[in-house]
Amino acid sequence: MYDVILVRYGEISLKGKNRNFFVHTLTQRIRENIAHLKPRKVEIRYGRLYVPVLDDSEELLEALRKVFGIVSLSPAIRVSRDEEQIKNACLELLKKTIDPKIPKTFKVETRRADKTFPVKSMDMNQILGGAILREFDEILKVDIHNPQIEVGVEIRSEDVFIYCERVNAFGGLPIGVTGKGLCLLSGGIDSPVAFWLAAKRGILVDGLHFHSFPFTSQRAKDKVDDLCKKLATYCGKVKLHTVHFTEIQKEIKMKCPEDMIITIMRRFMFRIAEGYAKKRDSLVLITGENVAQVASQTLESMNVINEVVDIPVIRPLITMDKIEIIEKAKIIDTFETSILPYEDCCTVFVPKHPKTRPTLRQCLEAEKELEVDRLVAEAIESIKIEEFTVDM
């Protein structure tokens, strides 16, 4: 029934001289997110993008809904700039949209993007509204304030688009327009949400995962792979960089006070992440931390952990409570995977009573027997890279 999906973008339209860069990046992200469907050309018009429908309108709509930068979508019929054709398209669309046994209210909303069209928007609303009432006089009534059906008509310089449905997307900015970031990605609930939120703001996010085989199982690593596949449905593709963290954890366990293990482990993670981020030209680290959720997330702990890096650290979840994070994880479909009961490296060698208010002096004292630079360099050298795409 539909010819195209009409794509609306929000804050991109405010980018002034950089607008073309943002629009072309959005177009590239659309191509990546629909790469698993039949190929087609994305049309770029001023203020809108149009993606042709083949025989896959539902799959196409769902894939486009997950592209960051898109505000809303409408499956639409495309006709020429002819009043009679516009009228017939409105009637055809309503016949396939409404249930003839259920009365409803409607209004017509015409948007005349091309002012050279001879009929003004208000006059077009009345012409089309009258035709609809004559065709559906026992089913539809006009309500211009709270209609159950809104017939949208966009008149542009080349053609006209008619639609009845508006699907909200996630908004944000196209991935890549704000630079590269590296997200510390565990298999838990929080870090995939942090990854998603950072990507939504246009950051090209790579995942950095710390794996502690044989203390953590292959199934724990598989869980992270599955999370990357889910994130790829929003990002088109996701690169996962896996650090073999076992030797460092064994060194910490052997040479540091037990109550400092978590703090020292997090300081190593940050050092490795910063070193690797600089090698890959990533400008920021992203974490799933928030305040006071676990021992390493007290303000004192976060302060001494952050002390080992100079790179900016973004914490998108910092003020959210657990319920809010879980709700977001369910919306983006990572929750059910995150709660699978496979341990990650943060649950290895966990002390009974971790220090919640560590000081910098205590950290330096705890680390004095460790060859920090060597351990960090070897960990960075061991990193393996995998790529996950939307069609995996």
Confirm if 129 and 142 have CB atoms less than 8 A apart: yes
293 in a known ligand binding site: no
Rounded Cα gap, residues 16 and 157, in angstroms: 22
Task: Give the number of residues written for the chain.
Answer: 392
Instruction: Tell the residue number behind the tokens 């929000």, with chain if given.
Output: 10
Burial class of residue 264 (count of CB atoms within 10 Å of its CB; 0-12, 13-18, 19+): buried
64 in a known ligand binding site: no
Q: Count other Cβ atoms within 10 Å, centred on residue 392.
A: 14
Torsion of CA 363, 365, 368, 374, to 10 degrees: 10
184 in a known ligand binding site: yes
179 in a known ligand binding site: no
Q: Which residues pair with 9 in a beta bridge?
A: 70
Rounded Cα gap, residues 268 and 85, in angstroms: 67
Picking from 182, 387, 386, the residue whose alpha carbon sits closest to that of residue 279 is: 182
Q: Which residues pair with 151 in a beta bridge?
A: 108
Known binding residues for ATP are: 184-185, 209-210, 266, 288, 297
Known binding residues are: 184-185, 209-210, 266, 288, 297
